[in-house]
Amino acid sequence: MKDKTSSQTQDVIAVLDFGSQYTQVIARRIRECNVYSKIYPFNTKASVLKKQGVKGVILSGGPSSVLTKGSPRPDAKVFELGVPVLGICYGIQLMAHMLGGGSVAKSPQREFGHGTLKIGKKSPLFEGLPKTLNVWNSHGDRIDTLPKGFSPIAATENSSFAAIEDRKRGFYGLQFHPEVAHSELGIELLRNFLCKICGAEANWSMSEYIERKVEEIRETVGKDRVILGLSGGVDSSVAAALIHRAIGKQLTCVFVDNGLCRLHEREQVEKLYGDHFDLDLRVARKSALFLKKLKGVSDPERKRKIIGRTFVEVFDDVVTKLKKKGNYRFLAQGTLYPDVIESVAIDGNPAALIKSHHNVGGLPKKMKLDLLEPLRELFKDEVRALGSELGLPKEVVWRQPFPGPGLGVRMLGALNKPGLDVLRKADAILHEEMMASDLYYKVWQSFCVFLPVKTVGVMGDERTYENVIALRIVESVDAMTADWARVPNEVLRTISNRIINEVSGVNRVVLDISSKPPSTIEWE
């Protein structure tokens, strides 16, 4: 049977969530195999899965031990659905514990980290894979006896039951995590399960995902209205474009001009979203208010706090006014999966903790709005693919990260409009030159920092005493660590010449050659 909620019928794989931090990674890998999957709470009734017509079931890992009383169990009838089942980590323990004849015991030694998997028996799960694979483990219990009908198909140093199968019933179990990047060819192993064992068709695509999400958003929102704080960054832009596709003018986007934006940023947002996408866009021009509140403040933490607080005030004000005029019920946010610190669905109620999202943390509660987070299960690169599919331009989809407090953390010391204008002009030149030299999309971030010091220079016959601009250009994969990018000297020379010649108030440009750690990316 197929899922018919979308115009295209699709095979569905159910992932039962036992609270693993990797459940979403499993779903992501399944999407990478172009198969559609749905995550269900661990205790979902087998009848629900049957009604959905799932082609296969994956039991995720989880933090519990099957030996602990009250630890989560799937509906036993899941094993009677007549579809293949793959148990991963906690999932394999469940199979050993619940299917007759097997047993699980506390292992004297936790198996954690790398292991070498030796494939001992031919199995459809390992089709096309080499005989030895590096895999990644994380488990405490071990299987002592296999349930009836099962046999081992692969072993690691510490476990002779690292992979097991009951081929007749289509039941497979893996002691390691094939979904994590450290497990070599893990995705191929999952693909074998999905396509060869379950016989699922690999016809999932991003455009199909959009269709499905659009229907879901329409259903959730009904005739109500949605507010979204549009920052112009990738996440809020993609969320806006997706929700707009679903409900058009029922979505109102609010862009707060806090005076800490880049050159022409407000105009660009107005042009793209207001004109091109014909979105209901409200712009709150509040730069004077922000700068007034920030006057004389040079401590970075205080600056951040004031910026965050003022944003909430302004946003709250806009929302209160909007609510008087229309039935606004939702606050949309571009929260991505990595923003969701922990997704524990153990009680069947995924109670996720959200990282305090810069600027908007606490907003929905204060404003009595429900949250709408259509990107919650996606990873950054998937959000970019989604944005492209929705027609957002490359400059938005692939734009470099920009901090919530904007230029507030890039103009050091107390903020003032003339200094910010200098910074904006210098930064625009850097941006232009990074684009022109084809480096903008190759580095992680490239920006200017305004230093609150003046140095002596000479221009013509005149002695000058002006500000310093630092160039921060870094390479990184996740912003946790970073290194300064080796930009060709000629490009640096052009950037420096142009900034000093074209931006009055700057007579010196320096290059930051520090890595993170020990430095950070932003200077603050």
Residues lying near ligand XMP in the complex (CB under 6 A) are found at 358, 401, 403-405, 445, 479, 516, 520-522
Q: Pick between residue 50 and residue 516 the one whose CB is nearest to ligand XMP.
A: 516
Calpha distance 218→207 (Å, rounded): 17
CB of 265 to ligand XMP, least distance (A): 15
CB of 444 to ligand XMP, least distance (A): 7
User: Least distance to ligand XMP from the beta carbon of 470, Å?
Assistant: 14
For the question of residue 198 being annotated catalytic, the response is no
Q: Is residue 89 among the annotated active site residues?
A: yes
As a whole number of angstroms, the distance between CA 330 and CA 83 comes to: 39
Side chain identity at residue 409, one-letter code: V
Q: Tell me the CB-side half-sphere exposure of residue 22, using CA atoms within 13 A.
A: 24
179 is catalytic: yes
Strand pairing of 506-511 and 462-475? parallel
Of 280 and 522, the one with the shorter C-beta distance to ligand XMP is 522
Quick check: 330 and 370 in contact, CB under 8 A?
Answer: yes
In the complex with ligand XMP, the residue whose CB is nearer, 75 or 522, is: 522
Q: What is the DSSP letter of 338?
A: G
Three-state secondary structure call for residue 76: helix
Nearer Cβ to ligand XMP (217/234): 234
Distance separating alpha carbons of residues 173 and 57, to the nearest angstrom: 12
Closest listed residue to residue 191, CA positions, set 252, 236, 128 = 128
In angstroms, give the least distance from the CB of 445 to ligand XMP. 6
User: Cα–Cα distance between 279 and 104 in angstroms, integer?
Assistant: 57
Tokens of 375: 């990107």
Tell me if the bond preceding 517 is cis, omega within 30° of 0.
Answer: yes
Residue 483 to residue 74: CA distance in whole angstroms: 46
User: 64 vs 445, which CB is nearer to ligand XMP?
Assistant: 445
Eight-class DSSP state of 443? S
Instruction: Supply angle C-alpha 89, 91, 93, rounded to 5.
Output: 80
Which one of the listed residues 97, 139, 177, 431 is annotated catalytic? 177
Angle of the 380-389 helix axis to the 234-247 helix axis, nearest 10: 50
Q: Which CB sits closer to ligand XMP, 176 or 311?
A: 311
Q: Both tokens of residue 333?
A: 């946010």
Alpha-carbon distance 146 to 64, whole Å? Answer: 20
**Shortest distance in whole angstroms from residue 522 CB to ligand XMP:** 3
Tell me which of 33, 139, 165, 179 is the catalytic residue: 179
For CA atoms 485, 489, 495, 497, the dihedral sign is: positive
Which is nearer to ligand XMP, 37 or 445 (by Cβ)? 445
Kindly give the residue spans of alpha helices, DSSP state H, lying in 119-224.
Answer: 186-191, 206-221
Instruction: Report the nearest approach of ligand XMP to the CB of residue 341 (Å).
Output: 16
**Is the distance from CB of 153 to CB of 121 less than 8 angstroms?**
yes
Q: How far is the CB of 416 from ligand XMP (least distance, A)?
A: 21
Do residues 503 and 426 lie in contact, with contact meaning Cβ atoms separated by under 8 Å? Answer: yes
176/402 with CB nearer ligand XMP: 402
Residue 490: CB minimum distance to ligand XMP, A: 27
| Catalytic machinery residues | 89, 177, 179
